[in-house]
Amino acid sequence: MKIMINGIHANLRFSSAHIIPSHDSCGCIHGHSYFVDVEIEGERSGKFEFVADFKDVKDSVRKICEKLDHKVLIPINNKNMEFEGLNHGKNLSLDDFKDLENLDFTIQNKNYRFPIEDCVLLPLKHTSAEELSQYFADKVYENIQNKGYDISSISLIVNEGIGQGALYKKEF
């Protein structure tokens, strides 16, 4: 059995700016009005015989969308980004950034500075739709895994606009 949630109709949306470092056309700051579609497969279970309660799934996705909305998405594990004052070449953790007021970084010969509160630091290599769809799928599973559902997979699409998105399927 499968449940499906359409992100446009369920208002699972966020608007963010990002950079795909060193990419020809996406290597400059730009943004998207994203929406997130979700499919969850599994066995019906529990008192109401749900695959998963739509409310639980939508609440989980909305929390992630709210965190990313109107922020600059920063992939802290991108090899083309050098963060000022932090070790270049090592995988960084979110803790490495905890005491910063501003985020200073360089991509090739371009220098950037953002107030840290305007950014969401993500433990990703890129902030592409592909990476974001995997990030969302992992987080949604973390949020609903202890609710007693018998889930066999989560498929999540992060759409950069109508007709353009990336699907990640996480199987269990």
Determine whether 142 is an active site residue. no
Determine whether 65 is an active site residue. no
Separation of alpha carbons 158 and 94, rounded Å: 23
Q: Which of 130, 143, 142, 111 lies closest to 169 in space, CA to CA?
A: 130
Asked if residue 132 lies in contact with residue 94, where contact means CB atoms within 8 angstroms, the answer is no
Exactly one of 26, 82, 84, 130 is catalytic; which is it? 26
> What phi and psi values does residue 57 have, to the nearest 5 degrees?
-65, -50
Exactly one of 28, 70, 88, 142 is catalytic; which is it? 70
Determine whether 84 is an active site residue. no
Separation of alpha carbons 148 and 60, rounded Å: 15
Asked if residue 148 lies in contact with residue 45, where contact means CB atoms within 8 angstroms, the answer is yes
The structure tokens listed for 98 are: 């905890």
Q: Which residues does the annotation mark as catalytic? A: 26, 70, 160
